[in-house]
Structure 1
Amino acid sequence: MGSVVGSAVYQSGRRVEDVEIERLDIACEAVPPEPGRFVWIGLFEPDEGVLAKVQRRFGLHDLAIEDAHNAHQRPKLEAYGDSLFLVLRTAQLLDGHVRFGETHIFAGRGHVVTVRHGSSTSYAEVRGRCERTPRMLALGEIFVVYSVMDFIVDNYFPVLHVLETEIDELEDRVFKQRTTLADIERIYELRHELMTIRRAIHPLGEVCARMMRFDTPLIEERVQPYFRDVQDHVLRVVEAVDSLRELLTSALEANALFASLRQNEDMRRFAGWAAILAVPTAVAGIYGMNFEDMPELKQSWGYPVVLATIFTICGVLYWRFKRAGWL
């Protein structure tokens, strides 16, 4: 069945056998009452038929199954009797943009079912890591839940590292005043992606806090430090996202400031040249009024004197504006 990417029975931290969905009732007939035995099933975008089989075998709640089939849920933790249902958001960097997916986890006595939707890294690495540490896997179903959560949260760090490198390059172009319209558009895209990352990861802090409380089924006191570690990673991701968003905000403010300064410089330059050009314009306008009694009008040296006066005044104005930094 194409949607089933992994299905195996574990006993005391070791893999006992692989099992098909159709044989769940036979392979898992010892679950529970035999301690330390559980089945771990991994599904990728399963259809209703596969989910119905899993639901019938493990008695999963209708509302949780509906959420797992439809996806598009916010991160959360819900308890249905002695079983847990978790919704986690995953993130991957594809073609320079952050793509999000969802992972739903059903965990109860004798079973763990992970359901992946959308953009998400395969959990084969998580399964292999757990199988290489049978002592930890012997903790049971809750260790699998921890391992998947830890893997999802840790996968945010490479994404943020790549975004941080790009943001540093954008910030460098801003301060070198080499930004283009495409750079400004990319800054707004990054701000939106970072906000989406924050919305995806921030609720996991509360999920971890609830996992560490004694009122949550399946979780013993000895495994609570593991979820405290996941919570610490969540806080680090949130802090990194907030820092990057502040950098982008500062870059936008700096770009706006530089644009304002350039505009002021252009306005001063225009004002300086307008003042210089006003001198010949005013003199020419006065002498163009065709009055008979005007200074030096009938003198042979009147024309060159007026021109010399214009050039002298314009030269003095140009020197003063240049000295003041307006030109």
Structure 2
Amino acid sequence: MGAIVNCVAYRQGKRLGTVSMEEIRTVLAVPGTFVWLGLHEPELALLRQAQQAFGLHDLAVEDATNAHQRPKLEAYGDSVFVVLNTAQLVEDEVVVGETHLFVGPNYVVSVRHGASSTYAPVRERCENDPHGLANGPGYVLYALMDFVVDHYLPIVTRLEDTFEALEQNIFRDEFDRAAIERLYQIKRQVLRLRNAVSPVEDMCGQLIRLHEEVVPKELRAYFRDIEDHASRLVRTLDVVREMLTTAVQVNLALVTVGQNEVVKRLAGWGAILAIPTVVFSLYGMNFDFMPELKVHYAYPAVIGVTALACGALWRRLHRAGWI
């Protein structure tokens, strides 16, 4: 039973007090009362007990037991089952956890798995807003989803800052393996976070349009606000992902251009050296008749002509930017 974080009954926006698992059915029988049960990595036996107390669906309980679910929203009669991915930064690494929410007309069961902040601040926020809490379990669902989405923003900001710090090492004409590996790690974290945020948009849309029994008209604006926040986060993550891809491509392009410049210089010097190589190689052949060998100034003349030819070629290549 250590997995029970809190189990509190509410009526007309006011806290009535803590209730035990055995008292839940009795409390729920009173009109206008709902119970919010908070669990942290519960065992199957505890989930089965909660299932009996609230009438939870077998498939939803099975998902909450196994965890490792994708973000989704499932409807079971007049109740909904919501799976959210929570995210935290642990040593500059995005660690994803899960929150499972069972929401019915008179109950909310929140189940936390893995990396996730405590929902005590959410409960305190709800209890400090009796007007909102008077809307019932739908307001608690809003507060929990809003809390999860708000915690995505600092992580997105941190990823953006990390990328900006790496930019100066990327836009150079030399290959930096460590920087490229770090960029790949950031991109992987961006994708992981995007997969957590993106489904929230669709879930809010479904809750607004299809589940009036959970989300009354008074709360639709609240869920549209969450939808807007999630949409902006998705767009920001898409921009960061595109910038990461472009940065890697630009770095590789700069490295390629730099290598091409080296090849051009080597080719230029190879062309210059080819002139004396051809001229001097002639003197290594066994010709019977080489008249210039008997001319007094033949050797310095050949050296001078070769030097002039090399100089002319060097000047031409230098003007062309090859040397």
TM range (shorter): over 0.9
How far off its partner does 1:274 sit?
Answer: 0.6
Give the aligned residue type for 2:23. Answer: I
Show the counterpart of 2:72: 76
Q: Is the 8 A contact 2:78 2:105 kept in 1?
A: yes
Mapped to 1, the partners of 2:145 and 2:247 lie a distance apart of 34
3-state DSSP class of the match of 1:55?
helix
Q: TM-score, normalised by structure 2?
A: 0.94
How far off its partner does 1:215 sit?
Answer: 4.3
Q: TM-score, normalised by structure 1?
A: 0.93
Q: 1:173 to 1:217 in 2, by over 3 A?
A: same
3-state DSSP class of the match of 1:8?
strand
Q: Is the 8 A contact 2:173 2:258 kept in 1?
A: no
How far off its partner does 1:67 sit?
Answer: 0.2
1:306 and 2:322 equivalent? no
Q: List gaps (5 residues or longer) in structure 1.
A: none
Among candidates 15, 23, 41, match of residue 26 of structure 1: 23
Per-residue CA distance 1:284-313 (angstroms, 9 max, x = gap): 211111213225223343322222222222
Show the counterpart of 2:261: 265
3-state DSSP class of the match of 2:46?
helix
Per-residue CA distance 1:109-166 (angstroms, 9 max, x = gap): 3221111111112211211211221221121111110001011111111111000111
Mapped to 1, the partners of 2:274 and 2:6 lie a distance apart of 83
Total equivalences in the alignment = 323
3-state DSSP class of the match of 2:26?
coil
Mapped to 1, the partners of 2:174 and 2:124 lie a distance apart of 48
1:231 and 2:227 equivalent? yes
Q: 1:307-326 alignment to 2 at 5 Å?
A: 307-326=303-322
Mapped to 2, the partners of 1:288 and 1:214 lie a distance apart of 94
Q: 1:43-62 alignment to 2 at 5 Å?
A: 43-62=39-58
Show the counterpart of 2:9: 9
Q: 1:24 to 1:109 in 2, by over 3 A?
A: farther
1:195 and 2:191 equivalent? yes
Mapped to 2, the partners of 1:197 and 1:13 lie a distance apart of 34
Mapped to 2, the partners of 1:295 and 1:229 lie a distance apart of 97
Give the aligned residue type for 2:314. Answer: Y
3-state DSSP class of the match of 2:53?
helix
Q: List gaps (5 residues or longer) in structure 2.
A: none
Per-residue CA distance 1:41-79 (angstroms, 9 max, x = gap): 211211112111111111111100000011111111111
Mapped to 2, the partners of 1:243 and 1:49 lie a distance apart of 45
Q: Is the 8 A contact 2:169 2:176 kept in 1?
A: no
Q: Aligned Cα RMSD in Å?
A: 1.8
Among candidates 86, 89, 93, match of residue 89 of structure 2: 93
Give the aligned residue type for 1:67. Answer: D
